[in-house]
Structure 1
Amino acid sequence: MRPLPRLPLRSIPRLCTISKITFRPFSQSLMVKRKSEALGDSFDIQPPSRIRKTGKMEAQPATTTIELTSKEAQLKDLLLDAAKFIDGSGSVEEPVILRWAGGWVRDKLLGIESHDIDTAINVMTGEAFALKLCELCQQPDTVKKHAIAESDVGNLHKIARNPEKSKHLETTTIKLFGYDVDFVNLRKETYTEDSRNPQMEFGTAEEDALRRDATVNALFYNLNTSKVEDFTTGLKDMKAKLIRTPLEPLQTFMDDPLRVLRLVRFASRLEFSIDPAAEEVMGDRRVLDALRMKISRERVGVEIEKMLKGNHPRKSLEYLKKLGLYHTVFTDPTHSNIPAPDISNWKLAYELFDSLRQNKTPGSIYDVLVRSDEADYYSWVLAAICPWENVGDPPYDGKGKPPPPFVTLAAREGIKASNKISDLATAAHNNRPEIMSLVTAVSEIAPFITERDRFGMAIRNWDARAGHWRLQVLYSLLVEAMEALAPGSAKSVSKDDFLHKWQLFLDHLQELDVMEAPSLKRIIDGNQLAKALGVKPGKWMAEALNVCIKWQLRHPDATDPAGAVEEVQSKRAELGIPEKK
């Protein structure tokens, strides 16, 4: 969606025009900074209690306190003034109570910086509150009191419900003081036997907490009382570093199967353990079937992307294997008859990659092959789907375009990976035989390994369709590792010997100076070549230019293209170049 132009502060209500989009995944900081003190000593818990109110015993949450930054305090004061503004308007029957909910509270207690704040409201929708907030921000006294600069208030958007993709909540969001602030009413979910989508109703803070995926995500910071509220066991579980569901695990996961992946993500990101009672049912066939059929693959992909871009991607993959989630996540859910890969040795691949990441010294395997944060993420995707390499190719009757390899389907259909990643998976699969052939040749000191053009042209070919030829080499390494490092395998070798072979290959490419072969500038272009040959360009041109590139790779210091033209002349008949007219 194209952002609206920023207007002067006095025009804030116009900035708050509602726009509708179907889904906006929240963003969050992936690099975390922990407090120096132990988690268990970072906050004190006041135990829960019950009080008599309106003739009934109502739960009072366990509480603790946190210290706000100056910006957080500024935001809090503005929101509280908005609540008073609404109370004074007479538009609500009860006083407005505001709570910051979920991830921000959890991260604040952990000492992790977060710029995403979910604000839960007790008596009105998020949209209604946000519009009143924008109205208040128009008033000069409010601008002065809260020192609101023009850049402090951004555009307001409405994120529509999409139950068919398990997006059950309608949310309104606005940028305030540098924070992405979402507004939504406290709610409870009611499920019926004839519908897989919940009925959303206004609820209490306790009901809202109980419907969440994990107790550590069910905490509130009450802006009115300045206390953290825990209606479940969130504070206790924070101290125990435990991911637990607020309700019975099977019910929690069947209500929303995506929670299975969310728990994996939070456990790996926070380095918490998952409650054994939850682990026991996360791989339940009923839960897996619901995850496969009920949740859109786009949402599955979002969770996997956050795992693999997080600070502990290896731990995420460990959980997917341990809990039996692999075949549900990395597959094409629309086809039930495709084979399942053997993942018994999969851990050898992702553990090896994780160990390579620990050694980023110049010239190391990781340093040579993975050269950006994007490449690191792509590498984890390849590590995740590499078991599919050993399944074989999909059946093909020779008619039409061949189907993509299974490894591509795992990425494209399983997690809805981008076209760039899917193309990379296809190229890595298609080019692996040649990559392995050259690795073996270098290891065995084959006679042709000094042929710079052979290696340079191979690299150019690997890179031509999908780019990232280095990651294709890494993929081949990881696939081979699942067999070569497996105890008892006929081809089993030590980890040191295995890595030595691959390091030798990369060092050889460095010695040949072909690492940048894909970006090699041609010494002569097509028009120049056609003119030198005295003919018009034709179908022969692409292969003729390859001949020139090969010549250029054999003569890296040449600046005159005459030798390349002579090489093409000698292959004129072979290339199908017509004679001069």
Structure 2
Amino acid sequence: MVLKKAKRLWDRVKNGANQLSIEEAPQSELNIIPRDNHPVSRKDISSPALKVLYRLNNADYQAYLVGGGVRDLLLGLSPKDFDIATDAHPEEVHRLFKNSRLIGRRFKLVHVLFGREVIEVATFRGHHEAPKLSANQSTSSEDGMLLRDNVYGTMEEDALRRDFTINALYYCVKDFTIYDYANGLEDIEKRQLRLIGDPATRYREDPVRMLRAVRFAVKLDFTIAPETEEPIFELASLLNNIPAARLFDEVLKLMLSGKALTTFQMLRHYNLFGQLFPGSEKSLKQGPERYLKLVEQALINTDLRIKQKKPVTPAFLYASLLWPALEDQWSKNKESGTPPFPALQQASQKVITMQCKSTSIPKRFSLNMKEIWEMQIRLPKRSGNKAAQLIAQPRFRAAYDFLLLREQSGENLGGLGQWWTDYQASDENIQRKMSSSAKENGPRPRRRKKRYSGSAPNSSTH
């Protein structure tokens, strides 16, 4: 009966059905879906992942492809990563693979390295409230966040410890079946994201799950189940307890997914963006409309570049996301009497320092961000040899793109973006003419009048 239900479910998934009847809904019991009733094939699984699965099985360990790899294959997508769950302990996996390394303290894992491809192998997790064995450790904070969680268990316990039902699916390479412990197949059909267990408790265990909910919902075009999304509004501030370095990585996953604009809008809807970028969120709420337009246009451009398989640097992304906060602080510094360039440098340092309390920014990116921002003052100065010197700077292209962003957002820069566009498209002769006729933006310094001793010279008309 369970197999017939699974077959009907898969047929409905293929046909794009949106709803299940009550009679068709799978029960809260293990569903085992045979090969004939699902589309997952070994040919769609990377060779390194298959090698890890076979070696673990041949060493008499259980081993399954799990999580996003199974989910994406069921949805007809190409997984970016293949993760494996096993009953072998990390040290046993490490001994079995010479090309592996043990990582993590909070979650101890094994990475098996095949050139640039990394296969992540995790031991089945048990309930962290269970009695601890000598190798098992589980520690929680006062807020309920798991600080260390190396409690091992069975495959069923591991499934129920996973975050979302659609990630609690296991593919067996021995008989090509799929094990569904949490009605994940039903939620895939409904295109619904649902947490396993009590949502508030699960978010407190790991607040990053709120960001993962947004990321998966956007990536898969799923809705978030009402009981799963409701606690996010109240618990968003728990992200303050997450290490800034981890949140930097999460921001990159969110914004470099190819759907950055939709992700940004959803993060703001759930009050999560303000936890990641508090200064920018404040400026977006209080500042001019062009702030929001600049950020949104930057994210549209990011999505387009990813679609075109062009590189995207975190420095440009962060320079755009933090520009509203930077411009506000820059204006305050200038109003207090600080000259423009020092005012900008001071604002840059303050904004980056404050941001690093929420999400860390590696120095190699923060330095590039500062250069992009500082060149916004230098780009208006084009006379003489200045334009030729600027265009030779390593960060010119990024600064030029950022200048165009500012104009696209509605900031009036007197056609500066078009001037630089024309300059780059011209030959050297035209460039020299453009530079000689270019007018510097801003007031020019006043020349001192020469003082004469004695009487003033006679003036005459020629």
Could you state the TM-score of these two structures normalised by the residue count of structure 1? 0.56
Q: Distance in 2 between matches of 1:217 and 1:261?
A: 15
Q: Give the equivalent residue in structure 1 for 2:31.
A: 61
SS of the residue 1:180 aligns to: strand
Identity %: 18
Structure 1 position 171, deviation (Å): 1.2
Query: 1:466-486 CA deviation, whole Å, 9 max, x = no partner?
Result: 8732243145336x54xx6xx
Query: 1:493-545 CA deviation, whole Å, 9 max, x = no partner?
Result: xxxxx8xx88x54333243348899xxxxxxxxxxxxxxxxxxxxxxxxxxxx
Task: Provide the aligned length of Structure 1 versus Structure 2.
Answer: 393
Q: Which amino acid aligns with 2:362?
A: S
Q: Which amino acid aligns with 1:66?
A: P
The answer (yes or no) to whether the contact 1:269–1:307 under 8 Å persists in 2 is no
Q: Which amino acid aligns with 2:269?
A: K
The answer (yes or no) to whether the contact 1:318–1:347 under 8 Å persists in 2 is no
Q: Give the equivalent residue in structure 2 for 1:27.
A: none
**1:257 counterpart (207, 214, 217):** 207
- Go from structure 1 to structure 2 and tell me whether the alpha carbon gap of 1:380 and 1:76 turns closer, same or farther (over 3 Å shift): closer
Structure 1 position 255, deviation (Å): 0.3
Q: Which amino acid aligns with 2:258?
A: N
Q: Give the equivalent residue in structure 2 for 1:127.
A: 91
- Go from structure 1 to structure 2 and tell me whether the alpha carbon gap of 1:175 and 1:351 turns closer, same or farther (over 3 Å shift): same
Moved more, 345-354 or 104-113: 345-354
The answer (yes or no) to whether the contact 2:261–2:296 under 8 Å persists in 1 is yes
Structure 1 position 238, deviation (Å): 1.6
The answer (yes or no) to whether the contact 1:218–1:234 under 8 Å persists in 2 is yes
SS of the residue 2:258 aligns to: coil
Stretches of 4+ moved more than 6 A in 1? 73-77, 357-360, 394-399, 464-467, 514-517, 549-552
Q: Give the equivalent residue in structure 1 for 2:227.
A: 277
SS of the residue 1:283 aligns to: helix
SS of the residue 2:107 aligns to: coil
The answer (yes or no) to whether the contact 1:66–1:228 under 8 Å persists in 2 is no
Q: Give the equivalent residue in structure 2 for 1:385.
A: 322
Q: Give the equivalent residue in structure 1 for 2:399.
A: 469
The answer (yes or no) to whether the contact 1:382–1:475 under 8 Å persists in 2 is no
Q: Which amino acid aligns with 2:407?
A: L
Q: Give the equivalent residue in structure 2 for 1:147.
A: none
- Go from structure 1 to structure 2 and tell me whether the alpha carbon gap of 1:453 and 1:388 turns closer, same or farther (over 3 Å shift): same
The answer (yes or no) to whether the contact 1:189–1:198 under 8 Å persists in 2 is no
**2:237 counterpart (289, 295, 309):** 289
Q: Which amino acid aligns with 2:186?
A: K
Q: Does 1:349 align with 2:269?
A: no
The answer (yes or no) to whether the contact 1:80–1:223 under 8 Å persists in 2 is yes
Query: 1:325-370 CA deviation, whole Å, 9 max, x = no partner?
Result: 12210248xxxxx99423364543343345567999xxxxxxxxx9
**1:373 counterpart (303, 307, 311):** 311
The within-5 A match list for 1:10-409 is 40-41=14-15, 48=26, 59-61=29-31, 63=33, 65-70=38-43, 72=45, 82-83=55-56, 85-87=58-60, 96-114=61-79, 116-122=81-87, 124-132=88-96, 134=97, 155-161=99-105, 168-175=106-113, 180-190=118-128, 196=145, 197-284=147-234, 287-293=235-241, 295-331=242-278, 340-343=282-285, 345=289, 347-353=292-298, 372-374=310-312, 378-393=315-330, 402=346, 404-409=348-353
The answer (yes or no) to whether the contact 2:162–2:196 under 8 Å persists in 1 is yes
- Go from structure 1 to structure 2 and tell me whether the alpha carbon gap of 1:227 and 1:359 turns closer, same or farther (over 3 Å shift): closer
Q: Which amino acid aligns with 2:90?
A: G
Structure 1 position 261, deviation (Å): 1.4
Structure 1 position 107, deviation (Å): 1.6
Structure 1 position 127, deviation (Å): 3.2
- Go from structure 1 to structure 2 and tell me whether the alpha carbon gap of 1:265 and 1:62 turns closer, same or farther (over 3 Å shift): same
Q: Which amino acid aligns with 2:107?
A: L
Which sections of structure 2, spanning at least 5 residues, go unmatched? Answer: 1-10, 130-139, 438-462
- Go from structure 1 to structure 2 and tell me whether the alpha carbon gap of 1:127 and 1:181 turns closer, same or farther (over 3 Å shift): farther
Q: Distance in 2 between matches of 1:417 and 1:217?
A: 30
Q: Which amino acid aligns with 1:41?
A: N
Structure 1 position 426, deviation (Å): 2.8
Q: Give the equivalent residue in structure 2 for 1:53.
A: none
Structure 1 position 176, deviation (Å): 5.4
The answer (yes or no) to whether the contact 1:420–1:466 under 8 Å persists in 2 is no
RMSD: 4.5
Structure 1 position 301, deviation (Å): 0.8
- Go from structure 1 to structure 2 and tell me whether the alpha carbon gap of 1:385 and 1:374 turns closer, same or farther (over 3 Å shift): same
Q: Which amino acid aligns with 1:129?
A: V
Q: Which amino acid aligns with 1:423?
A: L
The answer (yes or no) to whether the contact 2:404–2:417 under 8 Å persists in 1 is no
Could you state the TM-score of these two structures normalised by the residue count of structure 2? 0.69
Which sections of structure 1, spanning at least 5 residues, go unmatched? Answer: 1-36, 51-58, 88-95, 135-153, 162-167, 333-337, 361-369, 439-448, 485-497, 518-548, 556-581
Q: Give the equivalent residue in structure 2 for 1:418.
A: 362
The answer (yes or no) to whether the contact 1:171–1:182 under 8 Å persists in 2 is yes
Q: Which amino acid aligns with 1:421?
A: F
SS of the residue 1:119 aligns to: strand
Q: Distance in 1 between matches of 2:427 and 2:253?
A: 31
